Structure 1
Amino acid sequence: MPLTMVTVGEEKTIVDYRGKEEVKKHLTNLGFLKGETVQVLGSNQSGLILLVKGVRIALNKGLATKIVVA
């Protein structure tokens, strides 16, 4: 499922990315690696606040939909 479908407070594991190679590279540079745990800390109309590797990161929903979690 896309990361945007995860409810606030829930933890999921990153399993894949969608999109062009440059998008995938950008996500891996931010720390969104396959097998890594990601937690949704907050959500609003424009994006998500996430916790990855102990770091809070804000992503817009367009980019968050590219991350597939399980």
Structure 2
Amino acid sequence: MALAMMEVGETRTIQEFHGKEEVKRHLQDLGFVKGEKVQVVGENPSGMILLVKGVRIALNRGLASQIMVA
């Protein structure tokens, strides 16, 4: 399932990425790596607020839809 489909309070594990190689690299630089836990701590009209490796990151839904979680 795509990260963009997660609800506030949900925690899942990152499985894979879709999209161009440069987008994948950018997401990995932000801390989104395979096997890492990600939690949705909030959302707003433009995107989601996520907790990854103890850091809060705002991510738009377009990028969040390219991250697959389980």
- What TM-score does the superposition give when structure 2 sets the normalisation length? 0.97
Provide structure 2 residue ranges, at least 5 long, that are not aligned to the other structure.
Answer: none
Give aligned-pair identity as a percent. Answer: 67
CA RMSD of aligned residues (A): 0.5
- The CA distance in 1 between the partners of 2:43 and 2:4, in whole Å, is 9
Equivalent residue number for residue 24 of structure 1: 24
How do residues 43-54 of structure 1 correspond to structure 2 at under 5 angstroms?
Answer: 43-54=43-54
| Shift of residue 58, structure 1, vs aligned partner | 0.2
Provide structure 1 residue ranges, at least 5 long, that are not aligned to the other structure.
Answer: none
- Following TM superposition, where does structure 1 have runs of at least 4 consecutive aligned residues deviating by more than 6 angstroms? none
- What TM-score does the superposition give when structure 1 sets the normalisation length? 0.97
- Partner SS state of residue 39, structure 1: strand
| Shift of residue 34, structure 1, vs aligned partner | 0.1
How do residues 1-70 of structure 1 correspond to structure 2 at under 5 angstroms?
Answer: 1-70=1-70
Aligned pair count reads 70
